Chain A
């Protein structure tokens, strides 16, 4: 039993260290998309939630986790979990700090249905000003929007709150 618990911990650590391919400053554990890793019949089973329905990185992330588990010496299997749906609330406090240091404004506030055209108040990750404006609903990936800080004049990515 103790060995099993140790294996499970080792498998989790191997999978949790995998970086996100699009935002490599954070890991799959920071983002909350790695739900859990269990040892079943001698194999490590990682349960992974995609961020967006059409996120093109989903398959790459699953493969990277599988490779990391195999490199750690486990037989590995990935299970994709849709329910409950991933939310930006699952990004850890540490993950939010890493995003900010990387120049991406982390999602603010809880999820929830916003007023149709309600603007989120977004803090500039460089200078901390809240005088920012949205340039585009989509940035370099579906999960980010493009903003500009009117105080320091820098454009930045905002990790959308969903």
Chain B
């Protein structure tokens, strides 16, 4: 069923990014950010859980959120490459967060009109959370871009590193009539990003060679490492509960 597959893609985006953000727990550059990062990771993982549950229900094979998160291999994951990129430095993490959240905010806004009640419920929660993810990451991108020589250099490097991965945000993937068109988010995403880039004194990149493939299961090598760590406990002790 197309909606189940499309929700799985969305869920994978959220879980993989949520896990990446959680890797900052205990390592963030200051206490406030050390609180912020796990909180944002929890938002993303919470959304992923709801999406997996709905996808599993529609799929009808009896798989629950844990089965879908912990017992699928790297080639079965359908997340876009952007979200699996390693954290890099704080500039890179914040830019990745901004790229993603600035896409998801209008996406969830459009999904509030979905004919699927579960999707509307998930969107209703997620849209509010994405609004402050955009604000939080946007403030950092501006602070670092328009900061010291060193922070500006790192922010510019983050743009060079990550911008090629943004095109995949707009690939329709499986798609479903119950979900918004991804391509139609481009104008709002670009407007948000360009507004922030201007304040951050960052140049808007010209044409870049796009990096894609995650929706077809073609991932970078880093995803396998991440999943190995994330899935090892559940696989060593199947069915374990706290």
Chain A interface residues (CB < 8 Å from chain B): 50, 52-56, 81-87, 111, 113-114, 116-117, 135-142, 146, 160, 162
Contacts and interface: CB of A to CB of B under 8 A. Distances in A.
Contacts of B120: 83
B35 A162 contact: no
B46 A85 contact: no
B128 interface: yes
A117 B46 CA distance: 25
A117 B125 contact: no
B143 to A, nearest CB: 12
Interface string B10-52: 0000000010000000000000100110011111111101100
Contacts of B126: 53
Contact of A54 (B44, B122, B135): B44
A52 B195 contact: no
B173 interface: no
Bin the interface of chain B by size: 35 or more
A54 B124 contact: no
A98 B116 CA distance: 37
Interface of B: 18, 32, 35-36, 39-47, 49-50, 117-118, 120-122, 124-126, 128-129, 131-132, 134-136, 138-139, 192, 195-196
Specify the main secondary structure of chain B where it touches its partner. helix
A110 to B, nearest CB: 13
A117 B121 contact: no
Given A53-B47, A56-B42, A138-B39, A82 B129 contact: no
Contacts of B42: 52-56, 142
A83 B124 contact: yes
A160 B136 CA distance: 14
B121 A160 contact: no
Contacts of A141: 39
Given A83-B121, A138-B36, A55 B136 contact: no
B43 to A, nearest CB: 5
A113 B131 CA distance: 8
Contact of A114 (B35, B46, B131): B131
Contacts of A113: 131
Contacts of A111: 128
A82 B39 contact: no
B107 to A, nearest CB: 15
A82 B122 CA distance: 7
Most B CB atoms within 10 A — which of A56, A81, A117, A139?
A117
Contacts of B44: 53-54
Contacts of A86: 125
A136 B43 contact: no
Given A50-B125, A114-B131, A162-B128, A136 B35 contact: yes
Contact of B132 (A50, A83, A160): A160
Given A135-B32, A136-B36, A52 B46 contact: yes
B35 A52 contact: no
Contacts of B124: 82-85
